[in-house]
Structure 1
Amino acid sequence: MSAIAFMCDGMVAAGTWASRAAPVKQFISQVIALFS
């Protein structure tokens, strides 16, 4: 369960970064694709 919570926290952090920088958003999308 803690792993799920960690991923959720990561999603929130990723969302915050994505709202600030498009290149970061693209990078996060690629990272998410690797884990999905």
Structure 2
Amino acid sequence: SSEAVVKYKEVELLQAKLFHSMSIKLVRTRETLLK
């Protein structure tokens, strides 16, 4: 079961990275639109 937990944490980290990069892209897009 510990392996499952590790896999779950890995997926969580990947999702967090994806969400972070997406939010940065959104902020940059909004900034360029407002200029």
TM-score (structure 2 length as normaliser)? 0.56
The CA distance in 2 between the partners of 1:12 and 1:20, in whole Å, is 12
Aligned length: 22
Mark the structure with the bigger radius of gyration: 2
Greater RCO (Cα-Cα under 8 Å, separation 6 or more): 1
Q: Which runs of 5+ in 2 are unaligned?
A: 1-5, 28-35
Is 1:11–2:33 an aligned residue pair?
no
Q: Which runs of 5+ in 1 are unaligned?
A: 23-36
The runs of 4+ residues in structure 1 deviating greater than 4 Å are none
Q: Percent of aligned pairs with the same residue? A: 0
Q: RMSD over aligned Cα, in angstroms?
A: 1.0
TM-score (structure 1 length as normaliser)? 0.54
